Structure 1
């Protein structure tokens, strides 16, 4: 299913996709019971950074799961979508049954990848579909799972094509739920989306709202109005939260000293970075690293 590789000994292990022998490369469907049987519990509870997509849905029970240092509670009918590069951690897999779909992004055709927004780092992690969507998603997942288990019933190339189409149906439906995360309402406007994309590109270069406003041709007030309307946060908070997330990933995933991480994130000194991080998380960078690796108080 997966292969672990470490960044130098002590960071969060990166996990690469490895298809089971004899199955199509790029996708796997298994039950959570299969996962428990295949992977020791102590390995499951270690934070990991996979380079492929995870889709998780439950048939019964409750599944606590941590993604990018935020805890989620998955319930029957809801879905968790973990994307490549995000740090995830299985908290307790003993109280849930359900389905896990693993796939490499290049398994799907470019049109599906674009339509399902597979590369969107801001897509919601947890989705709670309305009943009509939940039924359609359950059917899509069951069909995909049935076809995956039917290896040998068709020529391998036809079997692979069928899996690709069935997975496309599932991810397209998930990406375009009638009510993403169970919250009806209009999506974010174009001003916010342009700002969000600019922050994703330049957060390590500047944390000043004025710089983004100038680059995008808006006033700082316009940007703040757009972010408040779309996500309930001021423009500066959007920037700072993205910087904090990247800092957490770097601290958890590598053994780089705080001074080097500070430089990568555009801070003038390790002291400035430490003050920024502590103000927004309540922990020093080193204390956070020890906590996420299980060496400090949680």
Structure 2
């Protein structure tokens, strides 16, 4: 299993100066590979310290332990003052600026890694809005220990390490969310009329519990736009500009994520799960799930979340152009 690339058939090669915002994703074979990686800036690869604006389809947490310069997230510049903890949510645009001596750890994972703790998705997006945390005293020590434990579990790959990684990541997210606001160099509030604000509200809406209800706001782009009091066209433009993806793509991703969680963490039947995620026809749900994941719901459940033995992602360097 290798690193990350731009989405196949989308975007560009991942370098600046080409059409479209460079967009990178974890290249994770489906359905049973581990959508998680941790390493140093050197082992993760040159994209982990990219100096040009780009976005990801995955979450990134950066634990900075050394270096000078700045990190720009959604046009807000944060000065390095190690130790720092940085959270970048899917779709956020960021880059490193005039950085020297950058040291620390990079943690990469997709929403699928959060199946045991689905509420962490919303917490992570909230942390992404603050993005840059300064760590002091006990918080600095605890964070360093947690990151070291994550790295050790990942490299060892011992029996049950997936569950340990998920638990440690959950603790890291919860503790980071507890840090007082004065420790965050947060950007000033964004007016509601700004496209970025509408896109942020839409992403937050995706984390609400109404996904499975017949009248829930996640049933369609139209329903989401109505819930947010904007037109469909404005919502589509705002979300595309902020995340590089359409509202429809993100809604499908959210429904697939919830279906995966229910398949792996409950005893509900496929018919019941189809109903929970808004599909009245189980056969159509099965076709939808296979199209989005490459596996049927039954095959995905029988896989039980097992992963390939070569679980480590070696880097997020730009991949070779497709043949």
How far 1:127 moved relative to its partner? 0.7
Report the alpha carbon displacement of residue 4 of structure 1 after superposing the two structures with TM: 1.6
Q: Please tell me whether the aligned partners of residues 116 and 166 of structure 2 are also in contact (alpha carbons under 8 angstroms).
A: no
The residue matched to 2:130 in structure 1 has which SS? coil
Q: Does 1:15 align with 2:29?
A: no
Counterpart for residue 250 of structure 1: 241
Matched, 1:170 2:161: no
Relative to the length of structure 2, the TM-score reads 0.50
Q: Against the structure 1 CA distance between its residues 251 and 168, is the aligned structure 2 distance closer, same or farther, given a 3 Å change threshold?
A: closer
In the alignment, the residues of structure 1 paired with residue 200 and residue 156 of structure 2 have an alpha-carbon distance, to the nearest angstrom, of 46
Q: 1:225 is matched with which residue? A: none
Question: By how many angstroms is 1:121 displaced?
Answer: 7.5
* Distance in 2 of aligned mates of 1:251 and 1:195: 14
Q: Structure 1 105/63 Cα, relative in aligned 2: closer, same or farther at 3 Å?
A: farther
Q: Is the 8 A contact 1:27 1:101 kept in 2?
A: yes
Is 1:34 aligned to 2:43, yes or no? yes
Structure 2 residue corresponding to 1:4, chosen from 3, 6, 9:
6
Number of residues of Structure 1 aligned to a counterpart in Structure 2:
195
Identify unmatched segments of 5+ residues in structure 2: 13-17, 203-233, 246-323
Q: Deviations over 1:44-89 (max 9, x none)?
A: 2232110111111222222421111221122221111111110111
- 1:59-98 to 2 correspondence within 5 Å? 59-98=65-104
Q: Per the alignment, in what secondary structure is the counterpart of residue 162 of structure 2? A: helix
**1:220 corresponding residue in structure 2:** none
What aligned pairs does 1:135-174 form with structure 2 within 5 A after superposition?
135-151=141-157, 154-155=158-159, 158-174=160-176
CA distance in 2, matches of 1:251, 1:100: 23
Match of 2:198 in 1: 200
Q: What is the distance in 2 between the residues matched to 1:195 and 1:40?
A: 33
| Residue 114 of structure 2, aligned match among 102, 108, 115 | 108
The answer to whether the 8 A contact 1:24-1:160 is kept is: no
Are 1:99 and 2:100 matched, yes or no?
no
Q: Is the 8 A contact 2:113 2:166 kept in 1?
A: yes
From the superposition, tell whether residues 162 and 251 of structure 1 become closer, same or farther in structure 2 (CA, over 3 Å): closer
* CA gap 1:91/1:253 in 2 versus in 1, 3 angstroms: farther
Preserved contact between residue 27 and residue 107 of structure 1 (Cα < 8 Å) = yes
**Alignment partners' CA distance in 2, 1:25 and 1:203:** 29
Residues 127 and 10 of structure 1: CA distance in aligned 2, closer, same or farther (over 3 Å) = same
Matched residue, 2:315: none
Unaligned runs of 5+ in 1: 189-193, 205-242, 255-298
Distance, in Å, in 2 between the alignment partners of 1:200 and 1:253 is 14
Secondary structure at 2:144 match in 1 = helix
Contact 1:87-1:249 at 8 Å conserved across structures: no
Higher relative contact order (CA 8 A, sep 6+): 2
Preserved contact between residue 69 and residue 79 of structure 2 (Cα < 8 Å): yes
Q: Distance in 2 between matches of 1:173 and 1:57?
A: 14
How high is the TM-score relative to the length of structure 1?
Answer: 0.54
Distance 1:252 1:176, change over 3 A: closer
